[in-house]
Amino acid sequence: MTQLKPILSHVDNIPSAGKFKPDKSSLYYIHHRLRYQTSLPKLTIWSTIFLSLIVFFFFLSPPATPAPRRGLRTTTSYGGSGWESRIKLSAKPRSGTGHTVLVTGAAGFIGAHASVALKRRGDGVVGLDNFNHYYDITLKKSRKSKLLDRAGVFVVEGDINDVVLLRKLFGLVHFTHVLHLAAQAGVRYAMVNPNSYIRSNIDGLVNLLEVVKSSIAQPAIVWASSSSVYGLNSKVSFSEKDRTDQPASLYAATKKAGEEIAHAYNHIYGLSITGLRFFTVYGPWGRPDMAYFFFTKDILNRKQISIFEGPNHGTIARDFTYIDDIVKGCLSAIDTAKKSTGNGGKKKGEAQFRIINLGNTSPVSVHKLVSILEKLLKVKAKKKVVLMPRNGDVPITHANISLARMELGRVLGEVKKTSFPRNNLAVEEYGLMYRV
Ligand SMILES: O=C(O)[C@H]1O[C@H](OP(=O)(O)OP(=O)(O)OC[C@H]2O[C@@H](n3ccc(=O)[nH]c3=O)[C@H](O)[C@@H]2O)[C@H](O)[C@@H](O)[C@H]1O
């Protein structure tokens, strides 16, 4: 394992999706200005900033309930008067040059942020989400009402496995792009409910690709893969050229399978497909099943937390990546995606196929995460250090983002900057964040 560089920096040269303009003296601004710095004296400052943000995300997110043990209930309701016209309105870009994007998983953590960013800069956006009960549905409903509705993004309640619904949507709207973020997430939950991973990450992906490839003017696809595909690799940092045939979880295996399935559809049907490998994404409106979220909750409730450790007290670390950088990466991937070449299921020529890492490039150890949380919460955690269970976790993730810089960085400055309205909840959150 290499020496860790626990300094937070963010994906460089990727255009901002646009939001409020922070005060230049604020920590939030500084946080975003930091780029690829590796000097150790800055360790404490940046780690503190990172954890400060996390603490505020926790306080500002609705309460969570644990994931259910068995099949995931979903909500599906669509059709009826006005439904089609609301979809068409939401799909309409502000100008003739804007994209028309279907965002699957729009009520999810990344989906909500990406949908709002696309809409704010003038693209037409239709969201699709099944509002399943993997974690507290209140959080998903809140993202819808407080982020998506306010931004003017209409969210269709439905499942990517509902082919009739997908065909109906593609019949109503000519989508130029699909941002496919709907998935069963979480590496450890795969031991509890393995079939939910197959249903969402394999069946759902294939259903979507089947409908997309059959459409008359095929949209380009940008979709969420995962850093977990690097599995048990010990060489860091992770490059897209590295092997990805040793998954440590069923989640990782389904994401890797997704990459191969995507390749087959690209090859056979001429679909333009970009897979983005996200590295442990954190931020406001985040997922309650992620460690930064439930550690904070448990520390405050004086409950014991388990800190994973490798054999011989080996460090466990993650390349925690801030949501804004991921959103910028998604938007840049959409902007740089070439058109699909196929038409109505027939390939007309070679199409673009990309797989790109989107990570922070600076792993932070779980011990560090917890120690800074303790400091900010002013509560000593009841820690139990345990050997990392063999249920999906890997010792370290660390992104090499040379390809992202090359492929996505060149659109810098071309994306229009917009602001959230003053009364948007996101502004209040960011306001709090940058006063930390
Ligand atoms: O990049 C990804 O592809 C994945 O990122 C995220 O997975 P992870 O990186 O595992 O994040 P997360 O659970 O927050 O654990 C963080 C750290 O805490 C450690 N950890 C965790 C639990 C615990 O009880 N103790 C502990 O030490 C744990 O060992 C780890 O080192 C997404 O959830 C996943 O959906 C996928 O997108």
Distance 306 CA to ligand 1 centre (A): 12
Distance 290 CA to ligand 1 centre (A): 6
> Do 52 and 369 form a contact (C-beta atoms < 8 A)?
no
What pLDDT score was predicted for residue 56?
Answer: 58
Cα distance between residue 37 and residue 57, in whole Å: 24
Look at ligand 1, atom 35, and give the residue with the nearest C-alpha: 186
Range with the lowest mean pLDDT among 131-135, 400-404, 431-435?
431-435
101 lines ligand 1 (CB under 6 A): no
Query: What share of the chain in percent tops pLDDT 90?
Result: 67
What pLDDT score was predicted for residue 57?
Answer: 56
244 lines ligand 1 (CB under 6 A): no
Confidence class for position 260, pLDDT limits 50, 70, 90: very high
Task: State the catalytic residue, choosing from 197, 230, 251, 292.
Answer: 251
Nearest to 71 by CA among 138, 10, 12, 159: 159
51-76 tens-digit pLDDT: 566 555 555 544 443 344 445 766 55
* Phi (first) and psi of residue 177, to 5 degrees: -145, 150
Confidence class for position 399, pLDDT limits 50, 70, 90: very high
What pLDDT score was predicted for residue 231?
Answer: 96
pLDDT greater than 60 at residue 138: yes
Query: What share of the chain in percent tops pLDDT 70?
Result: 76
First-to-last C-alpha distance (Å) of the chain: 33
What pLDDT score was predicted for residue 386?
Answer: 95
315-359 tens-digit pLDDT: 999 999 989 999 999 999 999 999 999 989 999 999 999 999 999
Distance 361 CA to ligand 1 centre (A): 16
Output the 3-class SS for 344-398.
Answer: CCECCCCCCEEEEEECCCCCEEHHHHHHHHHHHHCCCCEEEEEECCCCCCCCECC
> Do 172 and 88 form a contact (C-beta atoms < 8 A)?
yes
Cα distance between residue 234 and residue 11, in whole Å: 23
Q: What is the mean pLDDT of residues 100-117?
A: 98
Closest ligand 1 atom to 185 CA: 35
Q: Which residue has the higher pLDDT, 431 or 149?
A: 149
Beta-bridged to residue 128, according to DSSP, are 104, 156
195 lines ligand 1 (CB under 6 A): no
* Phi (first) and psi of residue 214, to 5 degrees: -85, -15
Distance 101 CA to ligand 1 centre (A): 29
357 lines ligand 1 (CB under 6 A): no
Closest ligand 1 atom to 277 CA: 3
Average pLDDT, the chain: 81
Q: How far is residue 61 from each of residues 343, 368, 425, measured CA to CA in Å? A: 43, 23, 11
Look at ligand 1, atom 16, and give the residue with the nearest C-alpha: 291
Highest mean pLDDT out of 31-35, 98-102, 429-433: 98-102
Q: What is the largest CA-CA distance in the chain?
A: 63
Q: What is the mean pLDDT of residues 200-212?
A: 98
Phi-psi region of 152 (alpha: psi -120 to 50; beta: other; left: phi over 0): left
CA dihedral defined by 420, 320, 134, 394, rounded to 10 degrees? 170
Ranges of each domain in the chain: 27-434
Cα distance between residue 144 and residue 112, in whole Å: 7
Cα distance between residue 116 and residue 151, in whole Å: 6
What pLDDT score was predicted for residue 195?
Answer: 98
Report DSSP letters for 301-333, one per residue.
TT-EEEEEEBGGGB--EE--EEHHHHHHHHHHH
What pLDDT score was predicted for residue 73?
Answer: 67
pLDDT greater than 50 at residue 19: no
What pLDDT score was predicted for residue 283?
Answer: 86
What pLDDT score was predicted for residue 25?
Answer: 30
For residue 39, what is the DSSP state? Answer: -
Our answer to whether residue 251 is catalytic in this structure is yes
Look at ligand 1, atom 25, and give the residue with the nearest C-alpha: 307
pLDDT greater than 80 at residue 308: yes
What pLDDT score was predicted for residue 80?
Answer: 74
Q: Which residue has the higher pLDDT, 238 or 413?
A: 238
8 lines ligand 1 (CB under 6 A): no
Q: Looking at domain 27-434, which CATH architecture does it have?
A: 3-Layer(aba) Sandwich (3.40)
Closest ligand 1 atom to 186 CA: 35
28-52 tens-digit pLDDT: 332 333 233 333 344 445 555 665 6
Nearest to 364 by CA among 35, 4, 3: 4
Cα distance between residue 334 and residue 15, in whole Å: 12
Nearest to 316 by CA among 387, 373, 247: 387
What pLDDT score was predicted for residue 77?
Answer: 62
Closest ligand 1 atom to 307 CA: 27
Range with the lowest mean pLDDT among 80-84, 108-112, 364-368, 401-405?
80-84
What pLDDT score was predicted for residue 50?
Answer: 60
* Phi (first) and psi of residue 264, to 5 degrees: -65, -40
What pLDDT score was predicted for residue 116?
Answer: 98
The radius of gyration of the chain from alpha carbons, rounded to an integer in Å, stands at 21
ipTM above 0.90, yes or no: yes
Distance 21 CA to ligand 1 centre (A): 31
What pLDDT score was predicted for residue 424?
Answer: 26
